[in-house]
Amino acid sequence: MKEPFGTLPSGETATLYTLSVGRIRAAVTDYGATLVRLFVPDSEGNLADVVLGYDDCNGYRTANGACLGATVGRNANRLQGASFLLNGATVSLQANDGPNNLHSGPDHYHLRLWKTISYSDTSVTFALSSPDGDQGFPGNARIQVTYKLDPKGGLHIIYDAVSDQDTVFNLTNHSYFNLAGHNQTDKAMDQILTIPGRFFCPDDAQNIPTGELRNVAGTPMDFRSPKPISKDIDADYEPLHLQGGYDHNWEVFCIPCAYLQDPVSGREMAVYTDCPGIQLYTGNFLDEHGKNGIYYGKRSGVALETQFYPDALHHADWPQPVTKAGEHYHSETIYSFPDLSI
């Protein structure tokens, strides 16, 4: 099913596409290639929308500083000094987070109307042409994002891109999950999280990784055994003090690279990816009025963003998000609800 999702100042109409397989249903829009709704049953079959969002495209256009449901690119996360070296030349982006760049803004991909190139009951593919110099990046780029539901209860987000010059591709989805339901804002931090990663990236006061890969053992960053997110989020530990909670990258050590459980509803979600890192962000600065007028305040949801390590372009020993001219960038992340096989 597809339906209008609001009118943009240009007069163009955004469209909302609903995908369904068995008991899972996702709604995505061509405005920003954004995940808007994700309905998942609980252990008794009751459906709830488990992602934060807005009622129409104008919410995403005017109020979405938190990037709810957003496709982020060309480079997700932070870049120190809003610049980097590529083939010996300095590439400069706009500083939009103090002296640094965040999510390649301010001209974000999630604030653009993408072209829909295919649609079925179970998948939709959006495309964006990003010209040479767009956001500061070199190369004329063609980018596609596909959302696809599978019969085993998985939501696949598939990224494909190519450029006519060497460039950066590091795309992610910035959905905030609350498996109790998006409107159960006081329950998000009670959910039980597992991250098998052995190492995380400590940040400085500007959320820029220091370059250290620190062992999680003996720290509040150790999620190798399941624990409520709330258990250690306010622990007396400098990385948590600096960011007001969790907002850090973990290595992807194995798959699934994260597992989230709601102890009341019984909903569970596993995260699979081919990316080297995953960012846990606990919505420490959320301050949004979202779907159905629900207020999303501090820690109302949890983002699990698959990615290259933040600021990897300044750390040559980390996996690099550079794609050569003419080469095909491909990445896939699956948010899987294991009990929903049909």
Q: pLDDT tens-digit profile of 82-118?
A: 999 999 999 999 999 999 999 999 999 999 999 999 9
Give per-residue pLDDT as tens, 8-57.
Answer: 999 999 999 999 999 999 999 999 999 999 999 999 999 999 999 999 99
pLDDT score of 149 more than 80? yes
| Active site annotation includes 289 | no
- 246: tokens are 């969790």
Residues 6+ apart with CB under 8 A from 288: 52, 63, 64, 65, 66, 68, 295, 296
Report the length, in residues, of the chain. 342
Q: DSSP per residue over 134-183, as a string?
A: GGG--S-EEEEEEEEE-TTSEEEEEEEEEESS-EE-B-EE--EE-TT-TT
Beta bridge partners of 296: 288
pLDDT of 240 strictly over 90? yes
CA atoms within 13 A on the CB side of 95: 8
Q: Say whether 174 is catalytic.
A: yes
Name the E strands within 190-294. Answer: 192-194, 199-201, 214-215, 227-228, 247-251, 258-261, 268-273, 277-281, 288-289
CA-angle at 130, arms to 129 and 131, nearest 5°: 110
Amino acid at 62: T
| Both tokens assigned to 29 | 């829009």
Nearest-angstrom CA–CA distance, 97 and 102: 6
Average pLDDT over residues 275-298: 97
Distance CA(266)–CA(264), nearest Å, equals: 6
In DSSP terms, 277 is beta-bridged to: 251, 307
Predicted local distance difference test score (pLDDT) of residue 244:
97
- Does the N-terminal peptide bond of residue 74 adopt cis geometry, omega within 30 degrees of 0? yes
Query: How confident is the model over 327-334, as a mean pLDDT?
Result: 98
- Mean pLDDT across the chain: 97
Question: pLDDT tens for residues 167-198?
Answer: 999 999 999 999 999 999 999 999 999 999 99
Number of Cβ within 10 Å of residue 182's Cβ equals 26
Mean pLDDT of the 300-324 span? 98
Partner residues linked to 78 by β-bridges? 102
Q: How far is CA 28 from the centre of its chain?
A: 14
Find how far residue 243's CA is from the centre of its chain. Answer: 18
Q: How far is CA 137 from CA 73, 84, 86, 94, 144, in A?
A: 11, 10, 10, 11, 17
- Tell me what pLDDT residue 117 has: 98
pLDDT value for 342: 41
Pick from 307, 308, 285: nearest CA to 298: 285
User: What backbone torsions phi and psi does residue 148 show, to the nearest 5 degrees?
Assistant: -145, 135
Q: List the domains of the chain with CATH numbers.
A: 2-340 (2.70.98.10)
User: Which residue in the list 174, 182, 268, 288 is annotated as catalytic?
Assistant: 174
